[in-house]
A and B are shown apart, each in its own frame.
Chain A
Amino acid sequence: MRKLILFLLICISAKVNAQVYQEMPQYGYRANRMAFDSTLQIPTVCGVPTIKSVVKYTKNGAIAYDSCNAVFYTYNPKTLTWTAVSGGGGSTDTTSLSNRINLKVNISDTSNMLTKYLRKTDTASLSNRINLKIPYTGATQDVDLGAFKISAQSFQVEGTNGLGHIHFKHQNSDATATGQSTVLYANSNGDLKYKNAGNYYSTLKTQQTADRVYTFQNKSYTLADSSDLSAKLNTADTLSLSNRINLKLNIADTSLLQSKSIQPYSFLANNTTASANAQALPFKDTSGTYTGSIAWNGTAPTSGNLTYRWTRIGKMVTINISLVYANAGSANSTLTVALPSDAPTPSKPAGLTSALNNLYPIVGSVNITNQSTLTNSGTRGFLRNNTANNGFEFNLGYTATTAVNAFITCTYYTD
């Protein structure tokens, strides 16, 4: 029972308002760490405040003043963080409008500001960029278009002396002043000239006609027209010799080129009083075993090497007959040898057309040995018409001997 009574008393004391709050009759109120006086004094700390109470108070906002750093803090129960309150109180704004704009705009980063308005990243100053954008007379610096090209309906280049030069650098590092570029320009005559890296000048010009003239500067010759192409061959010509010959020759003129092939048994000569193309004239040289008719008087030498040879040049024929025997003849004083059947037909001098008429003299000899010097058998003879006057023969007369060989040489003419 006593416990029940005690319990009830505790409950009643918790529920019942035994006292009524009364306003403070004195001016001001003070509690730990805060006070209400003519001012509201709040908790003052040194550094960032911390909440030292139980957890439930962290769910409420709070303020504190950092007297060490003169910073007013507010507490955000949602984020559980203290935040220093910044900003000053109202004062007279002495900053100009432009300065305030500058504070809003990062004017030091002008290139980034203009980037979206430029076609390329450009680190040059604004004034330079403006200069580059606006053509004006008196430019003092080069314009680098990078990989971009200039497109225009016409293009004009004017130099300080009125002669515009276009420089083609051989590579980026080349300087035009040192000849490391090819320069193209027009001279005062309107001729197009160019200078190569070696400072050699060449002129390309046109005449009133459509012909073109190309002058090799520092050379002693000028190509005036196509005929000058025959002047000389370039020593650096790598064409084959046959190709160069073909270029020199009119290969379409095959008839002349075929002049190296001429008709059989002929040679080329000019048998006239004037210069003329060569004409084919007869030429033949032949030899072989003699198989014609041989007639000795006495007893004939036997077992022989019988050969002949003749050469025809034009109408002149030189023939040689060699009759060399192993067995000597006897009482030989006459030898008759028929003209070889393949020898050209002798031309008969006028008045010598009858049988046995001598036509041409011969040189002949009949010898008794093959080693002897000229013997008494040395003889004279003729090429003559034969007995039947239907052919020709050599006839030799000499002192009777024992012939072992005979030689006949004769030059005659044919028609």
Chain B
Amino acid sequence: MKHIRQINSVNTNTYTIVDLSNYSGIMEDHPIFGAFPNSFEISEQDLPDFIQYVIYDITELKTLKINNQ
């Protein structure tokens, strides 16, 4: 299943993916990439049994993106 994962969680016991349950847009355009550059990537790897989630607030992500620019 295609998902957005936190890069530094790969190969740890806390494989972390972005909670997309409330997101309906294109995955590559997800605002988390702008808010946290180089921290997330898209993966189609199978998910492990235990995963950790990153939740977000669109408004906060946009603010973080502006701060990063």
Contacts and interface: CB of A to CB of B under 8 A. Distances in A.
Contacts of B8: 299, 302, 327
Contacts of A330: 36, 39
- The main secondary structure of chain A at its interface with chain B is strand
Given A302-B6, A330-B36, A331-B64, A296 B53 contact: yes
Contact of B52 (A300, A331, A334): A300
Given A298-B36, A299-B36, A325 B55 contact: no
Interface string B1-20: 00000101100111010010
A330 B8 CA distance: 12
A297 interface: yes
B54 interface: yes
- The number of chain B residues touching the other chain, given as a range, is 20 to 34
Interface stretch (A49-57, A206-214, A266-274, A287-295): A287-295
Nearest to B53: A295
Nearest to B9: A302
Interface in B36-69: 36, 39-40, 49-50, 52-57, 60, 64
Interface string A330-341: 110010100000
Which one of B49, B56, B64 has the highest number of Cβ atoms from chain A below 10 Å of its Cβ? B56
A336 B55 contact: yes
Interface residues of A, number: 20
B50 A291 contact: yes
A295 B39 CA distance: 16
Interface in A316-349: 325, 327, 330-331, 334, 336
Interface of A: 291, 293-304, 306, 325, 327, 330-331, 334, 336
19 contacts: A291-B49, A294-B52, A296-B52, A296-B53, A296-B54, A296-B55, A297-B55, A298-B36, A299-B6, A300-B9, A300-B16, A300-B52, A300-B53, A302-B6, A302-B12, A302-B52, A303-B14, A306-B14, A325-B14
Q: Top 8 A-B pairs ranked by shortest CB distance?
A: A295-B53, A303-B12, A302-B9, A300-B16, A295-B55, A302-B14, A294-B52, A302-B12
